[in-house]
Each structure stands twice: as C-alpha cells, then as structure tokens.
Amino acid sequence: MAAIAAATRTTPKWGLMTLTVLAASATVFLVGFEQGTLTGGLPVLHEAFHDARHLLGFPCH
Amino acid sequence: MITDSVRRGLAAGLVAGLLAGAFALLVGEVPLREAIALEEQSHAAAHGSAEAAHDHGDAFTVSRTAQQVLLPVGTALLGAACGGLLGLVFAFVARRSRDRWRSALAFGTASWAAVALFPGLKYPSNPPGVGDPSTVEARTTWFFVAIGGSVALALLLWAASRWLRGRGTADVPRQMLVGAAAVLVYGALFFALPANTDPVEVPADLLWDFRLASMGTQAILWLGLAVAFGWLWHRAGNQEAV
C-alpha cells in the first residue's frame, strides 16, 4: 500500500511524457504518412513501407 | 507508474506488431500480390508495352522483396509507437484501477475500436492500384479527422460515464445510457464524414480478401497489444504481491 501511495504522489514526469509522445508520433508519421518530403521528393519511405501501409489501412498513392 | 506503463506498452506493442506482421505476410501478401499483378497488367495494356508496366518506378523503386521484408518491420515499429502511447495514457486512466489486467483489456479494446476499427469502417483500406494520386492529400486529411474525431468521442463518452458514476448513477442504467449515446454520436460522425469517391476497379472478391486481411492485421496488432500489455501488468502485480 505504501508503494502505491508513493507512486500516486509522484509528480508527473513531463520530460518522459514529452519524449514518448514525440518519438511515437514521429514513428507513426515515418511509417504511415511520409510521402517523400524528407527525402528530397523521392518517396523512399512510402515505397519502403508500401506493403505495411496498405495492410495497416493508411491512405496510399 | 508512468515509466513502467510506457515500458510495458512499448514491449507489448513490439510483440503484437511482429505478430501482426507475420499474419500480414502469410495472409495479406496473397491479395496484395494479386492486386499488384493486375495493376501492372492494366498499365501494360494502357501503354501497349511491357516497359510501361513499371512506369511508376521511373522516379524511385524499392524491390518487392525489400517491401515484404519491411512489412513486419513497419508493423513492429507502429505497434511499439502505439503501445508507448497506450501505456502513457493508461498510466492516467487506470491510476486507481485495482485490476490492471481487466483495465488493460478494456482500455486496449476501446483503443482499437476508436483508433483502427471506426476509421477503417469509414475509410476501408484499399489494395495497390486503387486510389487516385491526386486525392491522396485529401484522403490522408480525412483519415486523420476520422481518427481524431473517433478518439475525441471516446474520451467524451468516458468522461460522461465517470461523471454519471460520480453522481451515483447505478452501473446498469449508466452503461446503457453511455452505450446508446455511443451509437448515436458514432453514427453521426460516420455520416458526417465525406465519402471516399475514388473509383475501385479491382474484382470484388480480391477487394474483400484484401480488406479482411487488413482488418485482421490491425485487430491482431491492437488486441495483441491489449493482451500482452495486460499480462505484463498482471505479472508485475503478482511479483509485487510475493
């Protein structure tokens, strides 16, 4: 019980939370949405994750 | 609590993503391969030469083998990312939960319905060869809106349910009320979102096989994540109790 009480009293870890949200959003963007803007117009990531994008339901082409 | 929850979400998401990737390779690649073959046939027919079959490869190509190898990599990365976010949010919504296994299952299933199932029903996935390149930006935007709106409604319903419980409403009428409200608001969002008007010119059975495989891949990713995440919490609880 003491451990649970201590855990709930801990202040939120803003650094960790921000890092998690940023890293996760960046991953989702790179795997699912990036259309070549970051690789000089060539759709490198779009083509690389082609099959994954189609089967995960992301809009394609 | 937050660090543990994020860590467990990442691990569970990675495993679920790999499982979903294995399913996608075994089941999803079959209609995907057929659709690519059809796409190349129609390109070749339209341009009258075999060389034109690869015309969208003029700009850049990744070999089919590389695309297949990267399929489980993509699902694992997406699984881990979704797992990390799920773990982060779970640390707040399940702060006072006494049964984290059940909470994780319920929260994971609700997350699947809100993030994958609802947007997937409104904008079903399409095999290669379907989709007008000129509408891809609009389709991506509306796909985002569908996910965002669906998650917002889920949070709103969750808040309403908590508020009713705080007011002392009994479980059965509260759950019936929130359930009915969910049908109404999700129905309204479904009809409010604009339809995808791109022509779909692949055979109906191929389209069905592809969409079923796509839904299956996403269900394995999200429900596998929910189960693995709940199991990690359950195991941690047992270790604490010992």
User: What is the separation of C-alpha B109 from the centre of its chain, rounded to a whole number of angstroms?
Assistant: 11
Which B residues in the span 130-149 are in contact with A, Cβ-Cβ below 8 Å? 130-133, 136, 139-140, 143
- Residue B185: phi, psi to the nearest 5? -70, -40
- The rounded distance, in Å, linking the Cα atoms of B80 and A51 is 18
Alpha helical stretches, state H, B60-203: 64-93, 100-112, 118-122, 136-166, 171-192
Q: Can you tell me the distance from the alpha carbon of B108 to that of A35, in angstroms, rounded to the nearest whole number?
A: 29
Q: Is B125 on the interface with A (CB under 8 A)?
A: yes
Structure confidence by residue, pLDDT tens digits, B155-189:
999 999 999 999 999 999 999 999 999 999 999 99
Question: How far is the alpha carbon of B11 from chain A, nearest alpha carbon, in Å?
Answer: 13
How far does the CA of residue B156 sit from the closest CA of chain A (Å)? 21
pLDDT tier at B61 (50, 70, 90 boundaries)? confident
Helix axis angle, B100-112 to B204-241, nearest 10°: 160
Higher local confidence (pLDDT), B150 or B41:
B150
The interface residues of chain A toward chain B in range 1-60, judged by CB-CB distance below 8 A, are 3, 7-8, 10, 12-13, 16-17, 20-21, 23-25, 27-28, 30-33, 35, 42-44, 47-60
Neighbours of B51 (CB within 10 A): 9
Can you point out the beta strands (E) in chain A? none
Question: Where exactly are the structural domains of chain A?
Answer: 14-56
ipTM: 0.87
Place of tokens 């034109």: B52
Tell me which chain B residues have a C-beta less than 8 angstroms from the C-beta of A17: 2, 88
Residue B214 CB: number of other CB atoms within 10 A? 25
Say if residues B149 and B189 touch (Cβ distance below 8 Å): yes
Question: Which residue type is seen at B225?
Answer: L
pTM above the 0.80 mark? yes
The dihedral built from the CA positions of residue B150, B154, B159 and B164, taken in this order, carries a sign that is positive
B71: which chain A residues are within 8 Å (Cβ-Cβ)? 51-52, 55
- What's the pLDDT score for residue B20? 97
Residue at B238: amino acid letter: N
Q: Is the pLDDT of residue A12 over 80?
A: no
